[in-house]
Structure 1
Amino acid sequence: MSDFSKALDVTVSGLKAQSQRLRHVSENIANSDTPGYRRKTVSFESEYQTGANVTRVETGPVRLDQSELERIFDPSHPLADESGHFQGSNVNLLIEIADAREAQRSYEANLKMFEQARQMSSDLMSLLQK
């Protein structure tokens, strides 16, 4: 495997990991008003490929945030208990927007690296053809 292929492989793994992270962030935002919904988080792990001598980024298991659910007072809600409270979600929109922005910037950085490796490979082929 050439160095260009290795670089492309690493950046592609980063692109996939950040897109999966962004998917979970968007699910959290979409379910922020769902009663009892727990925020999903994803971690990143490095995966070493022995034959290719490359370390790639992989997403770890999806975990549910175990922080306390918000208690909301609304006696008219169908899920309300005798005191008029029900459990909301533990999604904080400010945190989710910050996570989405970070995932977007990481995705863009990986995309830029992919484009640069592809351009260098193309330039090298042009030089070799002369």
Structure 2
Amino acid sequence: MTDFSNAMSVAASGMRAQSGRMRFISENIANADTPGYHRKTTTFEQEVSRAAPEGAVSLGRLRLDQTELDRIYDPAHPMADGSGHYDGSNVDLLVEIADSREASRSYEANLKMFDQVRQMSASLLEILRK
């Protein structure tokens, strides 16, 4: 039974990681028009501890995308400098939408894996009862 619980733990860690990734993506989308906003990114890291099964993942450090901010010309904007420009954000909505779809699909795959292991475990218990 320990293999089943390890597989469920790995799938659950994947769902937690993708959920955290979706949180950063939604923050990026919400702040796409915020002046001076830097896109948030993260990576996944393998969990290394005695309690975590092999293959379990977690979110890595939060990083701010250091690509150059868009320069927007709007002399009426309160943040505009002497030339009428201000720094926008470096969020690309197409990239964020693609990332959100990828995270959503990965979450669904982990959920299906979790459900499959649960069904296999229930089937094993049913066989052992007979």
What is the TM-score with the length of structure 2 in the denominator?
0.96
Shift of 1:36: 0.1
**Aligned position for 2:38:** 38
Aligned pairs for 1:1-130 within 5 A: 2-50=2-50, 53-130=53-130
- Tell me, yes or no, if the aligned pair for 1:38 and 1:64 is still in contact at 8 Å: yes
Give 5+ residue unaligned stretches, structure 1. none
% identical equivalent positions: 62
3-state SS, counterpart of residue 43 of structure 2: strand
Give 5+ residue unaligned stretches, structure 2. none
Tell me the distance in 1 between the aligned counterparts of 2:96 and 2:68. Answer: 17
Q: CA RMSD for the aligned pairs?
A: 1.2
What is the letter of the counterpart of residue 124 of structure 2? L
- Tell me, yes or no, if the aligned pair for 1:49 and 1:55 is still in contact at 8 Å: no
What is the TM-score with the length of structure 1 in the denominator?
0.96
Tell me the distance in 2 between the aligned counterparts of 1:88 and 1:121. Answer: 52
Shift of 1:47: 1.5
What is the letter of the counterpart of residue 113 of structure 2? M
What is the letter of the counterpart of residue 60 of structure 2? G
Tell me the distance in 1 between the aligned counterparts of 2:53 and 2:24. Answer: 30
